[in-house]
């Protein structure tokens, strides 16, 4: 691959010199989003490093990434065959596997339409515009009463531990037609274990590139494998129960609708893409897996910012009080009337950039970008963190300023500024849960801010330092919450 001849008119990729065997692994360090952003300053928007023996191209800069993922989308939308990905859903994941393009496209379409139809289903009462809204609003109510109870008994709480169950219940409701109590051991054991998962799936996990590292007694990789097994068992059990009680005339949830699709397909002799039932029903693993950790992380970061910037929390509360009132819970229809809330959420995505890189991509044929030659099957990392902190795009990028997204009169969100934030990737691989995720973050957060006031434990400084991974989290730390007393306001 190295010796591939560079076609005439194209240049060899720039980048740091690699060491034998380990390549540039040492330069990646513990925070690859930061080290690769600094390298980008030196080598430009398209450069190459080597991790182990394998070349990896790093893309930065909004324009360059748009060129690759939108204009040259067909060439930049495959996934590399990485060791750790082979464990996820037994190597049959929609998001992580190296499916042929036709198979991936057909699965993605199925996943997308199942998600859309189950979130748009009518709610059980007319106050909700759709089932998704109903699920979120009800979970938000339960979350508030859970936080209230733990505050009374313990005096502080770990936000992640509570939010994760509520968020997991929203996606469980759609995928499996069920929810779990906040003290359900089986769910808690599963969803509280995502740390090792995100660490191993983050771009630049060395064991994916340097084979001998896989055989060292590394706890992270072992825990990761154990988590994927436990996760697959959890979902398989629910799927078997669905098969046993499946009734064509009563499709209860996304799992049923995927089973139904397999049944229909058996009758359809003209189906042009061959897919096993496992690959179809396995889509629920991806939806469930992608659906809780990301949204929970977004909400955990949001609470941290509220606590760190009490004057921003005050403004958010006032906006809610003036535009929604305090007698009913916020609804999706209120979103357009809460521009400061919308700006706060955009700034949370930008400033935290908690998905610093997309899932790694891979070239599907020999190609070129900005005049540089990139051979087929090259692994490509897309640096979303860099786009969100690029001083060319943002004034004072390291400061947390929701107002940067407001129009001059403060009455609406500046859409063009908002679209500059990169959190869900773009192009053919972009996140299929974006609408659901944005709705969840908005509704959970608006309800929490309307009902609770958050603060830090006295004398304990907040530690925002993110731990690198596919989704970056900070160290778990307890917060305090007090109910807003409606009568006093
Ligand atoms: C993929 C972000 C929530 C389902 C992705 C990717 C990103 C992302 C960056 C990788 C895109 C790429 O490789 O170029 C987020 C963020 C979320 C979120 C920031 C929440 C705040 C969700 C939810 C669901 C979901 C709620 C499902 C209900 C998926 C799936 C993929 C994906 C299935 C794989 C797409 C593919 O490979 O074709 N997401 N996501 N995500 N996301 Fe999300």
Other beta carbons within 10 Å of 360: 23
Tokens of 68: 């690759």
Other beta carbons within 10 Å of 290: 20
Check residue 225 and give its pLDDT.
85
- 138 Cβ contact list (under 8 Å, min separation 6): none
User: Residue 488 above 50 pLDDT?
Assistant: no
Tokens of 150: 């733990």
Pocket test for ligand 1, best of 98, 198, 290, 382 (most atoms within 8 A of CB): 290
Centre of ligand 1 from the C-alpha of residue 429, in Å: 9
User: Which SS3 state, helix, strand or coil, does residue 473 take?
Assistant: strand
User: Residue 451 above 70 pLDDT?
Assistant: yes
Centre of ligand 1 from the C-alpha of residue 432, in Å: 6
Centre of ligand 1 from the C-alpha of residue 231, in Å: 18
Whose tokens are 């769910």? That residue is 187
Ligand 1 atom index nearest CA of 77:
14
Check residue 87 and give its pLDDT.
87
Q: How much of the chain, in percent, has pLDDT values that exceed 90?
A: 72
Tokens of 400: 């947390």
- pLDDT tens for each residue of 124-149: 889 999 999 999 999 999 999 999 99
Identify whether the C-beta of residue 454 lies closer than 8 Å to the C-beta of residue 479: yes
Whose tokens are 């009463």? That residue is 145
Q: Please, what sign has the CA dihedral across residues 302, 306, 311, 316?
A: positive
Centre of ligand 1 from the C-alpha of residue 147, in Å: 28
Please name the helix (run of DSSP H) or strand (run of DSSP E) that holds residue 251, with its range, or none.
Answer: none
Identify whether the C-beta of residue 112 lies closer than 8 Å to the C-beta of residue 432: yes
User: Residue 269 above 80 pLDDT?
Assistant: no
Identify whether the C-beta of residue 68 lies closer than 8 Å to the C-beta of residue 369: yes
* Mean pLDDT (whole number) for 290-311: 95
Q: Report ipTM (2 d.p.).
A: 0.99
Per-residue pLDDT band for 482 (boundaries 50, 70, 90) equals: very high
For ligand 1, atom 39, which residue shows the shortest CA distance? 431
* Average pLDDT of the residues of the chain: 92
Identify whether the C-beta of residue 252 lies closer than 8 Å to the C-beta of residue 117: no
- Which residues in 375-449 belong to E strands, given as ranges? 379-382
Q: What 3 state SS string does 175-207 have?
A: HHCCCCCCCCHHHHHHHCCHHHHHHHHCCCCHH
Check residue 368 and give its pLDDT.
97
Ligand 1 atom index nearest CA of 426:
14
Q: 30-44, 91-105, 289-303, 354-368: which has the minimum mean pLDDT?
A: 91-105
Check residue 3 and give its pLDDT.
60
Centre of ligand 1 from the C-alpha of residue 431, in Å: 4
Tell me whether residue 431 is annotated as binding: yes
Per-residue pLDDT band for 2 (boundaries 50, 70, 90) equals: low
For ligand 1, atom 32, which residue shows the shortest CA distance? 431
Distance CA 375, CA 438 (A): 36
Distance CA 120, CA 99 (A): 29
User: Residue 1 above 50 pLDDT?
Assistant: no
In short, whether 254's Cβ falls inside 6 Å of ligand 1 is no
> What backbone phi and psi angles, to 5 degrees, belong to 478?
-75, 150
Check residue 487 and give its pLDDT.
41
In short, whether 481's Cβ falls inside 6 Å of ligand 1 is no
């Amino acid at each position: 691959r190295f010796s591939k001849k560079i076609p005439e008119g194209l240049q060899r990729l720039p980048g740091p010199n690699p060491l034998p065997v380990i390549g540039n692994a040492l330069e990646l360090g513990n925070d690859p989003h930061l080290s690769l952003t600094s390298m980008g300053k030196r080598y430009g928007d398209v450069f190459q490093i080597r991790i182990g023996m394998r070349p990896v191209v790093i893309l930065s800069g909004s324009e360059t990434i748009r060129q690759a993922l939108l204009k040259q989308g067909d060439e930049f939308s495959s996934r590399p065959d990485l060791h750790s990905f082979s464990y996820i859903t037994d190597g049959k994941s929609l998001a992580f596997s190296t499916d042929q393009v036709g198979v991936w496209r057909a699965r993605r379409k199925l996943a997308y339409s199942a998600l859309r139809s189950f979130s748009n289903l009518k709610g059980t009462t007319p106050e909700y515009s759709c089932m998704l809204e109903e699920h979120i609003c009800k979970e938000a109510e339960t979350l508030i009463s859970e936080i209230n109870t733990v505050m009374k008994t313990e005096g502080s709480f770990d936000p992640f531990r509570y939010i994760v169950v509520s968020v997991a219940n929203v996606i469980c409701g759609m995928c499996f037609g069920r929810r779990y109590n906040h003290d359900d051991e089986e769910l808690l054991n599963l969803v509280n274990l995502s740390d090792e998962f995100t660490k191993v799936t983050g771009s630049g996990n060395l064991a994916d590139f340097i084979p001998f590292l896989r055989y060292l007694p590394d706890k992270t990789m072992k825990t990761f494998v154990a988590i994927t097994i436990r996760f697959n068992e959890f979902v398989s059990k629910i799927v078997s129960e669905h098969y046993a009680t499946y009734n064509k005339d009563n499709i209860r949830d996304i799992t049923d609708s995927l089973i139904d699709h397999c049944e229909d397909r058996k009758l359809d002799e003209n189906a042009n893409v061959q897919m096993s039932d496992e690959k179809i029903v396995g889509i629920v693993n991806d939806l469930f897996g992608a659906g809780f950790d990301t949204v929970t992380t977004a909400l955990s970061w949001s609470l941290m910012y509220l606590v760190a910037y009490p004057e921003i929390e005050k403004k958010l509360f006032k906006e809610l009080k003036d535009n929604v009132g305090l007698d009913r819970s916020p609804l999706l229809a209120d979103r357009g009337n809460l521009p400061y809330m919308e700006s706060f959420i955009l700034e949370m995505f930008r400033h935290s950039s908690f998905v610093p890189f997309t899932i790694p991509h891979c070239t599907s044929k020999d190609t070129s970008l900005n005049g540089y030659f990139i051979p087929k099957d090259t692994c490509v990392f897309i640096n979303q963190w860099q786009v969100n902190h690029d001083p060319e795009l943002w004034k004072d990028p390291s400061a947390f300023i929701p107002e940067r997204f407001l129009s001059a009169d403060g009455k609406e969100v500046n859409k063009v500024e908002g679209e500059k934030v990169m959190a869900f990737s773009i192009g053919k691989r972009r996140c299929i849960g974006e609408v659901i995720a944005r709705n969840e973050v908005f509704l959970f957060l608006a309800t929490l801010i309307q009902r609770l006031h958050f603060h830090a434990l006295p004398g304990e400084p907040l530690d925002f330092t993110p731990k690198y991974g596919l989704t970056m989290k900070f160290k778990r730390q307890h917060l305090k919450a007090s109910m807003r007393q409606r009568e006093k306001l």
